[in-house]
């Protein structure tokens, strides 16, 4: 359990007690902690205006300043000047019969502009710098100032020392009551706390309160520069003060926020041709600041890098890249090398019935190619076409030659009484006389061996 006593400045947490100097600032994290506005306030939009000189109300709506001008000739008429917060240029202006509009605030959730006058409230739709009136009704209190508290999503209305909260301006609930320090000139909120402007001639004080009415600190603005601060508002920790005084000091002053930024982190990486971006974030209000990371404006080219080697049949390619961003800059084809084949080698001999096969191999990719050899032409040749022998001799072995694959299908003697022949060509004489040995092959060839069996004059023993 943590307890904080603002009056005594003591923070207790468990068994530990920490003593804190009086006057500690516990408002929104990024609000400027310097209580002397004369030292930190900077002219933001000052000088003469083309509108009526009397400025009263002011608030920040979206990215615009809504700044009121009340007519000296017609007190029921107010001009609302819409100024771009960044360029300070006028977006437009609107005139409404809203009386002496001395306090206004912007509800960011409803996109609603609330304006209070003496006893009345006027509500406007506000979108992209354009105002459209939508409602108005009487208030139950008079002399009011108004502020929207974004963290609570309700309005706060103050009249003198009393401070009320409301959602709809019809039901006002008392938040707290404070000591009156002068004229309650204006009021604003940083989203968490309230800032009440107390005016006395030549002396402006802004008191900061928590929403439960605890006093936090006093900001002072004295002297000729701040004769009368009418209104204040906040955006991202920056405080804007609306100061009324004739001459060049008239206008809006800025009290810059005290942000607590992290280190820059790269959110968009730069490339060689495109800028990158880095950001840092305020831990208090979430404000982002960004910086450009400038590119070098050109690529740095690498040497050729082979991405795909060329093969015997297919092209390869090579590229050049940027050595910084790795973008591919150039691409070229590497032509196919073509095959480098070995000599033809026979892997199957041809026959009289089948073609032969030869093969060769690429020494690079080992691709094989084959081709056919023609079939052999059938031939037959005998070792002896005329055989003579006596009828009593043992016989004669007839030999022949055929092309590969061919073979003998039939062999016979025309006259087995004269001589017989075996299937392997052995001729056996039987009786004197003549006969032919006929040899036929599978391929249809025929060869003839003439055989003569002689009669001898002597008889063997």
| % pLDDT > 70, the chain | 88
Residues 6+ apart with CB under 8 A from 384: 396, 398, 399, 449
Report if residue 263 sits inside a domain: no
Strand partners, 211: none
* Span 263-301, pLDDT tens digits: 999 999 888 888 999 999 988 778 889 999 998 888 899
Contact 360, 337 (CB under 8 A): no
The verdict on 223 and 79 lying in the same domain is yes
Q: Choose between 315 and 142: higher pLDDT.
A: 315
This prediction has a pTM of 0.58
The verdict on 125 and 51 lying in the same domain is yes
User: In terms of residue numbers, what domain contains 429?
Assistant: 380-454
Q: What is the CATH number of the domain that holds 388?
A: 2.60.40.1080
Token pair listed for 55: 């400025």
Report if residue 297 sits inside a domain: no
* Span 338-357, pLDDT tens digits: 999 999 999 999 999 999 99
The verdict on 55 and 202 lying in the same domain is yes
Distances (CA, A) of 153 to 191, 238, 380, 402: 9, 20, 118, 115
Q: Which residue has the tokens 């006593």?
A: 5
The verdict on 15 and 157 lying in the same domain is yes
Helix (H/G/I), strand (E/B), else coil: 39: helix
The verdict on 329 and 384 lying in the same domain is no
The verdict on 329 and 199 lying in the same domain is no
Least confident stretch, 184-198, 299-313, 445-459: 445-459
Q: What is the CATH number of the domain that holds 7?
A: 2.120.10
The verdict on 313 and 433 lying in the same domain is no
Domain boundary among 227, 255, 283: 255
H-type helices in 198-258, by residue range? none
Asked whether residue 27 carries a pLDDT value surpassing 60, the answer given is no
Report if residue 399 sits inside a domain: yes
The verdict on 196 and 80 lying in the same domain is yes
Domain boundary among 188, 223, 255: 255
pLDDT band at residue 209, thresholds of 50, 70 and 90?
very high
For 225, which DSSP code?
G
Helix (H/G/I), strand (E/B), else coil: 196: strand
> What is the rounded distance in angstroms from the CA atom of residue 287 to the CA atom of residue 266?
16
> What is the pLDDT, as a whole number, of residue 11?
32
Report if residue 155 sits inside a domain: yes
Report if residue 357 sits inside a domain: no
H or E segment to which residue 359 belongs: strand 356-361
β-strand 446-454 against 386-390: which pairing, if any? parallel
The verdict on 133 and 232 lying in the same domain is yes
* Span 76-119, pLDDT tens digits: 788 899 999 999 899 999 999 887 767 999 999 999 999 998 88
Average pLDDT on 308-336 reads: 93
> What is the rounded distance in angstroms from the CA atom of residue 437 to the CA atom of residue 391?
16
> What is the pLDDT, as a whole number, of residue 54?
59
The verdict on 109 and 242 lying in the same domain is yes
Report if residue 226 sits inside a domain: yes
Q: How many domains would you assign to the chain?
A: 3
Domain boundary among 233, 255, 277: 255
Asked whether residue 323 carries a pLDDT value surpassing 50, the answer given is yes
Report if residue 114 sits inside a domain: yes
The verdict on 106 and 209 lying in the same domain is yes
> What is the pLDDT, as a whole number, of residue 249?
56
The verdict on 328 and 405 lying in the same domain is no
Report if residue 29 sits inside a domain: yes
Asked whether residue 40 carries a pLDDT value surpassing 80, the answer given is yes
């Amino acid at each position: 359990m943590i307890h904080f006593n603002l009056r005594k400045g003591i923070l207790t947490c468990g068994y530990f007690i920490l003593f804190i100097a009086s006057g500690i600032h516990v408002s929104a994290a990024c609000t400027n902690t310097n209580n002397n506005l004369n030292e930190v306030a900077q002219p933001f939009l000052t000088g003469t205006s083309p509108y009526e000189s009397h400025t009263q109300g002011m608030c920040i709506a979206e990215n615009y300043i809504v700044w009121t001008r009340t007519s000296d000739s017609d007190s029921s008429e107010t001009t609302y000047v819409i100024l771009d917060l960044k360029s300070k240029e006028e977006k437009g202006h609107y005139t409404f019969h809203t009386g002496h509009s001395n306090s206004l605030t912007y509800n960011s959730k409803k996109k609603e502009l609330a304006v209070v006058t003496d006893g009345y409230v006027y509500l406007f739709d506000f979108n992209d710098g354009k105002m459209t009136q939508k409602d108005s009704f009487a208030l139950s209190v008079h002399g009011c100032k108004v502020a929207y508290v974004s963290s609570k999503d309700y309005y706060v209305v103050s009249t003198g020392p009393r401070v009320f909260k409301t959602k709809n301006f019809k039901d006002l609930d008392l938040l707290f009551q404070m000591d009156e320090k002068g004229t309650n000139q204006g009021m604003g909120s940083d989203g968490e706390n309230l800032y009440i402007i107390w005016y006395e001639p030549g002396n402006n004080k802004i008191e900061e309160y928590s929403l439960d009415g605890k006093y936090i600190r006093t900001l002072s603005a004295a002297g000729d520069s701040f004769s009368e601060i009418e209104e204040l508002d906040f955006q991202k920790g920056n405080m804007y003060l609306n100061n009324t005084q004739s001459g060049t000091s008239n206008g809006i002053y800025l009290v810059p926020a005290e942000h607590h930024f992290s280190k820059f982190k790269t959110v968009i990486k730069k490339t060689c041709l495109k800028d990158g971006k880095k950001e840092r974030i305020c831990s208090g209000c979430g404000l982002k600041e960004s910086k450009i990371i400038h590119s070098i404006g050109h690529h740095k080219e690498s040497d050729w890098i082979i991405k795909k080697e060329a093969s015997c049949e297919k092209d390869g390619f090579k590229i050049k890249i940027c050595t910084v961003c790795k973008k591919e800059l150039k691409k070229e084809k590497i032509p196919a090398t073509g095959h480098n084949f070995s000599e033809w080698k026979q892997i199957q001999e041809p026959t009289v019935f089948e073609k032969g096969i030869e093969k060769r191999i690429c020494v690079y990719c080992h691709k094989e190619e084959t081709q056919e050899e023609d079939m052999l032409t059938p031939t037959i040749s005998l070792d002896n076409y005329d055989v003579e022998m006596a009828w009593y001799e043992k016989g004669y072995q007839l030999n022949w030659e055929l092309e590969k694959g061919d073979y003998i299908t039939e062999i016979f003697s025309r006259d087995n009484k004269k001589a017989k022949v075996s299937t392997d060509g052995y001729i056996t004489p039987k009786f004197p006389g003549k006969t032919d040995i006929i040899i036929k092959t599978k391929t249809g060839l025929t060869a003839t061996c003439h055989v003569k069996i002689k009669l001898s004059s002597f008889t063997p023993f």
